[in-house]
């Protein structure tokens, strides 16, 4: 089970594929889990990838499709006929099928949907495609098991047996009323092990204390609820509280990973969802805008420093400590913002006063600023720097640490209020602002100090 | 179910607690889920928190304990007697109980364990405490349902009924052989809906294709396996393949969140796992070391620039573009590292050649460097800067973008090879290195250019 797609293994498969040794390739594919086959197809050149894909049985090829990396999947789908795609999406869960379809051009989408044999699957996919991305509706699957509250246990078991045929995993049995409104859940234990007769009525043995979400609920809210209530699967209802789908933990895992990646990318100055496998062009598009913002900031900095050219002529040593001031301001700002961003993400800052948050941050900053300021003061004394420079550098360092901490705390809180992702505050944009503000502080203080001491 | 702990609600509870209106507090607690009560107890002053905690019924108080923030839990546990703690940990899953115990001083741990009434729970907790943190053994719970491969379905159902009493959720039924070695899993469908008689033997109807992990398996590997195989629960076996526990998705969610937070914190220059609720002292301890590294880098920068004091005297304008060069080097380096870090985390870089990764990054960097370099060249021409300065700034910008991209790619790959968390490369340490290297490049080029053009 723990097969690793190492370079020698890949080379062997590649040789087998190149020389058309189908039976050798198939023998290997049989050993592999769908996700491993997906990884393999991701790595092969497109032509070989399509070849391997077509060797797979129908059930398996559908599963592999779900596991592929996005770019590779798009290329592969473009190489398959609408009929082939329709057969594949007919064999996977409705949520995965809808995800696959969502990336296709609309005319191809229509063509494929029309070719799906199973009427129920066709309607399910069409329904799922109507929900906007980022909602519970777009994340949910239609496959679920539900029984009627007024039915007997015996009748429900007959019902369930029929529904269970389409399902890989059954996590929960839902109980609905006559209007298909969500009434409760039924635990397996209660069915299997209860001493109650098969004539008991479902509503008497089910648990009505059930957490559900609406089709419009934001996926981030879905993640929070699943974490909070430790549930594997959440039922999704429509406006009338009718049960329309379920969201399982594995979809939520993907959302969590994406969210974490998004925050990390924002903090690293990458604007789109790119990864190591994307083409250079995609990467440039995602990265260059941030660098240009940084560049604009650098140009603005140069203009600010230009105003202090006289100070630099009086003492070129002023230039020595510019990087120290700018970098420290940037570092402190990112730390302060990161703590707020994580606090917002985890819900820990819920119900916490902005002022009390700021007051804690200021206490941290004052101690930090004192330590750093005194260190640099001592160092400059030891190096026999001029009084003006010594005071300028240490006072500026103290000031920028304090202001960067305040900005770093307030900016993500403000972004959050404005419904902008607060993680933006840990990216290059705010660092650039802190750089500029830091240098302005430094040279203004320098102007004052050189006036005082000389 | 979607109760929000807003400030007015908190104020009301606080007033009720302060005036000892137990029935009002209890009425409210009854409305709340354990995780909400946890959040409430996190927010109250310690004395009031202990008071509310003691109002809870035993089952519920144990559940709430698990939901508390770490610092608050430690304080609360310190305020409770060993007998009270023993009663609480006797009522929760063994993995949660072991987690609670793990944070206690050893003598208190022994005292509490001795006071646990349930012998099985006592032994389970003792066993779990022996596994090192970060392994599957430390993450798993002992509660699970297993049946013997040679038993009949009828016999197995009797067996299961007994085991199910201790369990909240049953996700999977495990099948073991006579030596308790993991043999397979049994699906509910097969029990409930199969046409087979209750005289069938379990080993004939169970699925032997089961993914398991060893007690020593690293938790990161556990997360990867659960994501890869989309399983809610993983069985854990010992060296002899004997079934000893199970890991459920909710534990893995916590690990995923922690991992993502860790990467984000490393990228933000925060060394320990701190959050917004931690005391200023804890925050200073986590943040100051990184700032001091940055400070040391700044001091080193000042020494490097000092060697070029002559250049600065000839043209103080050299100082204008220092922040631009340093910031761009830092930004590019972080982007390049972030892409590698995510590629390593997601497994996308598995089987990918270092040289091919580097070659892609160099192509991205060359285009980026050309765009930025030409922009700044044009700008300086437009501003009628000296030829020497114009060439120095644009050439330096081009060079630092290229070198920062190369360092940014190689450093996380090297850290990963050295078994150090590659996310370290996106933090202040490497940014500082890029700053220094960028300035060195800038002034060296300046020295050459001013020699050439003047």
Surface-to-core class of residue A108, CB atoms within 10 Å of its CB (0-12 exposed, 13-18 middle, 19+ buried):
middle
Helical (H) or strand (E) element with B246: strand B243-248
Instruction: Pick the residue of A214, A226, A335, A380 with the most B CBs within 10 A to test the interface with B by mutation.
Output: A335
The pTM of this model reads 0.74
Of A230, A305, A367, the CB nearest to B319: A305
Of A270, A280, A298, the CB nearest to B360: A280
Cβ-based neighbour number of residue A83 at 10 Å: 11
Surface-to-core class of residue B4, CB atoms within 10 Å of its CB (0-12 exposed, 13-18 middle, 19+ buried):
exposed
Please state which architecture CATH assigns to domain A7-133: Alpha Horseshoe (1.25)
Q: Looking at CA atoms only, how far is residue B295 from chain A in angstroms?
A: 6
pLDDT, tens digit (0-9, with 9 covering 90-100), for B222-268? 988 888 787 878 999 999 999 999 998 878 877 877 777 787 888 88
Instruction: Pick the residue of B323, B346, B357 with the most A CBs within 10 A to test the interface with A by mutation.
Output: B323
Annotate A368-386 with b (16+ C-beta within 10 A) or e (fewer): bbebbbebbbebbeeeebe
Mean pLDDT of A161-187: 84
pLDDT at B1: 41
Q: Looking at CA atoms only, how far is residue B334 from chain A in angstroms?
A: 6
pLDDT at B61: 84
Tokens of B56: 């809870």
Annotate A308-318 with b (16+ C-beta within 10 A) or e (fewer): beebbebbbbb
Mean pLDDT of A205-222: 90
pLDDT at B273 over 90: no
Q: List the alpha helices (DSSP H) in A80-152.
A: 82-89, 94-102, 106-115, 119-128, 136-139
Please give the residue that has the higher pLDDT: either B323 or B13: B323
pLDDT at A131 over 60: yes
Instruction: Pick the residue of B319, B346, B425 with the most A CBs within 10 A to test the interface with A by mutation.
Output: B319
Q: How far apart are CA A130 and CA A9, in angstroms?
A: 42
pLDDT at A66 over 90: no
Q: How many CB pairs under 8 A join A and B?
A: 344
Name the band, by pLDDT with cuts 50, 70 and 90, for residue A2. Answer: very low
Mean pLDDT of B132-150: 91
Fold type of domain B145-248? CBS-domain (3.10.580)
Instruction: Pick the residue of B230, B256, B356, B385 with the most A CBs within 10 A to test the interface with A by mutation.
Output: B230
> A194-198, A228-232, B405-409: which has the highest mean pLDDT?
B405-409
Of B232, B291, B303, the CB nearest to A328: B291
Q: CA of B195: which chain A residue's CA is closest?
A: A161
Of B230, B253, B335, the CB nearest to A287: B335
High-pLDDT (> 70) share of chain B, %: 95
Residues of B in contact with A10 (CB under 8 A): 351
CB distance A327–B294 less than 8 Å?
A: yes
CB proximity list for B64: less than 8 A, separation 6 or greater = B34, B37, B38, B41, B53, B56
Instruction: Pick the residue of B67, B164, B316, B325 with the most A CBs within 10 A to test the interface with A by mutation.
Output: B316
Name the band, by pLDDT with cuts 50, 70 and 90, for residue B274. Answer: confident
pLDDT, tens digit (0-9, with 9 covering 90-100), for B85-111? 998 888 888 888 898 888 888 888 899
Round the average pLDDT of chain A to a whole number and report it: 86
Give just the sign of the alpha carbon dihedral A222, A224, A225, A227. positive
CB distance A192–B188 less than 8 Å?
A: yes
Q: Where are the domains of chain B?
A: 7-134, 145-248, 280-453
Name the band, by pLDDT with cuts 50, 70 and 90, for residue A440. Answer: very high
In CATH, the number for domain B7-134 is 1.25.60.10
Q: B55 with B25: CB under 8 angstroms?
A: yes
Residues of A in contact with B372 (CB under 8 A): 291-292, 295
Q: How far apart are CA A92 and CA A87, in angstroms?
A: 10
CB distance A340–B276 less than 8 Å?
A: yes
pLDDT at A1: 41
Residue B441, SS3?
helix
pLDDT at A232: 77
Name the band, by pLDDT with cuts 50, 70 and 90, for residue A196. Answer: low
Q: How far apart are CA B314 and CA B309, in angstroms?
A: 9
Instruction: Report the range of poorest mean pLDDT among A28-37, A243-252, A300-309, B311-320.
Output: A28-37
- Residue of B427, B430, B414, B413 whose CA lies nearest to B329: B430
SS3 letters across B297-361: HHHHHHHHHHCCHHHHHHCHHHHHHHHHHHHHHHHHHHHHHHHHHHHHHHCCCCCCCHHHHHHHH
Q: Looking at CA atoms only, how far is residue B54 from chain A in angstroms?
A: 22
CB distance A188–B188 less than 8 Å?
A: yes
Residues of A in contact with B376 (CB under 8 A): 295, 299
High-pLDDT (> 70) share of chain A, %: 95
In CATH, the number for domain B280-453 is 1.10.357.20
Of A230, A268, A321, the CB nearest to B267: A268
pLDDT at A382: 93
Helical (H) or strand (E) element with A24: helix A22-31
3-state helix, strand, coil in chain A (%, to 5): 70, 5, 25
Mean pLDDT of B361-387: 92
Please give the residue that has the higher pLDDT: either A163 or B123: B123
Residues of B in contact with A333 (CB under 8 A): none
pLDDT, tens digit (0-9, with 9 covering 90-100), for A301-347? 999 999 999 888 989 999 999 999 998 998 899 889 888 888 887 77
CB distance B348–A161 less than 8 Å?
A: no
Please give the residue that has the higher pLDDT: either B78 or A258: B78
Q: CA of B6: which chain A residue's CA is closest?
A: A351
Name the band, by pLDDT with cuts 50, 70 and 90, for residue B445. Answer: very high
pLDDT at B231: 80
pLDDT at B351 over 70: no
Instruction: Report the range of poorest mean pLDDT among A62-76, A256-270, A414-428, B378-392.
Output: A256-270
pLDDT at B2: 44
Instruction: Report the range of poorest mean pLDDT among A95-104, A177-186, A396-405.
Output: A95-104
C-alpha A199: how far from chain center:
47
pLDDT at B14: 80
Q: Looking at CA atoms only, how far is residue A99 from chain B in angstroms?
A: 17
Please give the residue that has the higher pLDDT: either B187 or A139: A139
Instruction: Report the range of poorest mean pLDDT among A30-39, A376-385, B433-442.
Output: A30-39
Round the average pLDDT of chain B to a whole number and report it: 86
SS3 letters across A187-246: CHHHHHCCCCCCCCEHHHHCECCCCCEECCCEHHHHHHHHHHHCCCEEEEECCCCEEEEE
Name the band, by pLDDT with cuts 50, 70 and 90, for residue B5. Answer: low
pLDDT at A223 over 50: yes
Residues of B in contact with A428 (CB under 8 A): 327, 331, 334
pLDDT at B136 over 90: yes
C-alpha A206: how far from chain center:
35
pLDDT at B3 over 70: no
Residues of B in contact with A400 (CB under 8 A): none
- Residue of B427, B106, B403, B119 whose CA lies nearest to B262: B427
Q: A10 with A37: CB under 8 angstroms?
A: no
Residues of A in contact with B327 (CB under 8 A): 294, 297-298, 301, 326, 428, 431-432, 435
Mean pLDDT of A351-362: 82
Q: How far apart are CA A269 and CA A293, in angstroms?
A: 10
């Amino acid at each position: 089970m723990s097969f690793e797609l190492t370079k020698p293994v890949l080379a062997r498969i590649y040789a087998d594929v190149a020389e058309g040794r189908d039976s050798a390739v198939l023998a290997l594919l049989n050993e592999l889990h769908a996700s491993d086959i997906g990884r393999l197809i991701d790595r092969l050149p497109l032509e070989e990838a399509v070849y391997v894909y077509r060797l797979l049985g129908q059930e398996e090829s559908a599963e592999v499709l779900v596991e592929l990396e996005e770019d590779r999947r798009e290329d592969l789908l473009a190489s398959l006929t609408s009929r082939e795609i329709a057969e594949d999406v007919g064999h996977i869960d409705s949520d995965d099928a809808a995800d696959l379809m969502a990336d296709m051009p609309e005319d191809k989408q229509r063509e494929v949907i029309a070719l799906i044999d199973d009427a129920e699957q066709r309607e399910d996919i069409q329904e799922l495609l109507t929900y906007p991305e980022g909602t519970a509706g777009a994340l949910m699957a239609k496959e679920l098991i539900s029984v009627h509250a007024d039915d007997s246990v015996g009748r429900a078991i007959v019902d369930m047996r029929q529904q269970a045929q389409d399902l890989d995993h059954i996590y929960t049995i839902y109980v609905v009323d006559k209007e298909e409104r969500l009434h409760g859940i039924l635990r397996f234990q209660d069915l299997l092990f209860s001493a109650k007769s098969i004539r008991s009525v479902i509503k008497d043995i089910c648990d009505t204390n059930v957490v559900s979400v609406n089709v419009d609920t934001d996926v981030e809210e879905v993640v929070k609820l699943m974490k909070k209530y430790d549930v594997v699967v959440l039922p999704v209802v429509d406006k009338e509280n009718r049960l329309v789908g379920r969201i399982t933990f594995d979809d939520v895992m993907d959302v969590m990973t994406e969210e974490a990646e998004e925050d990390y990318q924002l903090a690293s100055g990458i604007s789109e969802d790119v990864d190591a496998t994307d083409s250079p062009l995609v990467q440039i598009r995602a990265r260059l805008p941030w660098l240009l913002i940084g560049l604009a900031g650098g140009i603005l900095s140069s203009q600010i420093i230009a105003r202090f050219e006289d100070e630099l002529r009086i003492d070129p040593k002023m230039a020595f400590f510019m990087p120290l001031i700018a970098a420290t301001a940037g570092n402190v700002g990112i730390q302060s913002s990161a703590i707020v961003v994580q606090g917002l993400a985890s819900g820990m800052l819920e119900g916490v006063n902005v002022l009390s948050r700021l007051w804690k941050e200021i206490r941290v900053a004052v101690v930090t600023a004192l330590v750093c300021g005194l260190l640099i003061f001592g160092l400059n004394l030891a190096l026999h720097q001029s009084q003006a420079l010594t005071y300028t550098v240490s006072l500026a360092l103290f000031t920028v640490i304090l202001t960067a901490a305040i900005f770093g705390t307030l900016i993500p809180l403000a972004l959050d209020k404005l419904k902008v992702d607060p993680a933006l505050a840990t990216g290059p944009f705010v660092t650039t602002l802190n750089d500029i503000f830091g240098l302005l502080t430094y040279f203004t203080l320098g102007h004052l100090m050189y006036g005082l001491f000389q």
